Chain A
Amino acid sequence: MKKVILVQRNEPGSDNGVNEGKLAELKELARAAHYQVVGVLTQTRYPDRKYQVGRGKVDELAVFVEVSGADKVIFNHQLSTTQIYNISETCKCEVIDRFNLILEIFASRATTRRAKLQVELARLQYELPKARSIVSLLKKDERPGFMGLGGYEDSYEQDVKKRIVRIRNEIHSSCKSSESLRSFRHERGFSLVALAGYTNAGKSTLFQSLVKEGTEVEDMLFTTLSPTTRSLSINQRRVLLTDTVGFIEDLPHWMVDAFRSTLDEIFLADVILLVVDMSDPVEVIRQKLVVSHDIFWKRIEGVEIVTVLNKVDMVEPDDLKRKVDEISYLAPHPVLISASSGDGFEALVDKIYENLPQWDRSRIALDMSEESLSMVSWLYDEGIVHSIDYGEQIVLDIEAREEILQKVSKFNIDDHRVLS
């Protein structure tokens, strides 16, 4: 794990609670990017053009970096090229800002081709205004060799612009690919469940607990896919559970597209677990839910939402009831849990099961043959085999999605249909 130091400059006269909230979110983001936070520096002052924080604070930071062995420094502000350059020269280590950090998280979580392209696009858009200043900054410092480069300044910027155009085109033509990932997974008899909600709601904690509790389906194809997707069995139904970055507050507009595409995993799910931190004040909960509905609107069709009201262990029963009442009109299929203690998991699993895509049941009879035996194993992969009897014929009681039952419908022995 790489070690990082976080730096935050607070505006003079700004609200303490708000500042603490911002710092807490930065910590969460650093954790999500798999950094180990070894220290935090804050300073209250107006921004410094050259260093963001004060010159003296940067010297202090440099010492801090050296003793703690930090690999990186993360500022909770957008930094100019000059500032990044100056701070990293002083601290002798890599310096990034909040937006670079969010881009890193997106990049590591982007699984679909489209999501990857969109993250790259956001990165280039972030780089574009800097493309010019990097060159002039290096010129100003009279680095040898730069004066002789002539048109480099223009061509660097042109290069970034060209790549932006190319990626935009590619995104346009690859819109369909994430859909195919979904149908591929469905073809393997899985239903898709994704965790959504704001940073710190408890998504990852719930993910870990569900994975630990549930019997994991052994399937190399999926367990190797990504560390944030696991296969589980929920009342015999095979489910792929995906943890996501979730929703992040105050995203700059140029990052919104990248953010939306990493949410593909959520929009393409069959069931969304919308995790809510019930220890937040009720007005905050309501606001976050409204934004969540806004994000879902027109992006999910036929996807069921289960609202996971988490951290009930932190709220007084009376208070909890009042909060639940107040937000119920924004909470589809609500269920109260504590992800850390495991309270309410049974109800949650039932809720997930109830909202999985409908599967139907059917009894079929197959003649004994090599072909039938391979069909039986295919049915085991695709659905649930409730019973199987090997007699003169192989008689199966199966549960599966409609396409599968359709394929074996000619072997159906339900109701009035008689064995031939």
Chain B
Amino acid sequence: MVFIKQVPDTKSKAGVNPDGTIDRARAKRMLNPFDRFALQKAIELKKENGAEVTCVTMGPPKAQEILIDAFDYGADYGILLTDKRLAASDTLATAYALSALAKYVGGVDIMITGLQTTDGDTAQVGPQIAERHNVPQITYCESMKVDNGKVIARRVVEGGHQKLESTLPVLITMANSAAPLAPKRFAEVAAVKEFLHHPEEREKRVKSVNLDDIGADASKAGLVGSPTVVGKTWKLGELGGSCVMYQGRSALDEVNELAEQLQKDDRGIGELING
């Protein structure tokens, strides 16, 4: 089971309010880039071990788009947890809802998440799901394989790597140094288009559920289930500046030119670039 999330497209300015907050209804959406590593790992397990890949996500009905997109890459099933009562969930509430969803589906051997999301940046949801399921967790995983009912994984730690072995079921969060998501294959995409044309097939593979369907306690989800308090938000300022291009005949010339410019009037790089 892969946990994926639709996040505002960082390349698009649509829906960014003047005060720097995001209007989620207007923003362009994309698959959380960190989740691409999780999806890739799941697809690899499917190929190597014959796994069945189910992608789950929590969000508004439109978030179904990323489930369909995941099919294109080779996922088998998609489940969307959508419920107005989920609005404004913090990591505690989100992890509660997602683990309830995983329990509702049942029989999951390996849960995989991305490291974190680009809109929350907490890296907390994966580990919390593991805790709620009382299963081992391997965070910052770079590579892994399943052998004899066991997981053998390599994870990134400060200053090096760690090799781990774990029993199943297990929860893994993939580091962004793991294998990147392979491009969509035509045959896969064609097969997905084919089943999407058939409503009865579609229903078998994409499901939409709410909190009641999965037997979750609504008081533990959404705003009411979220102890996090947002004190204040503020805008950090604009990213930007200009770019100076040095085009010399060789790299050496270019470096020399840059060094000369930096030495002139004792300017630093920041001053040089910002005029």
Whether chain B is bound by chain A comes out as no
Q: Which residues of A contact B (CB under 8 A)?
A: none
Q: Which residues of B contact A (CB under 8 A)?
A: none
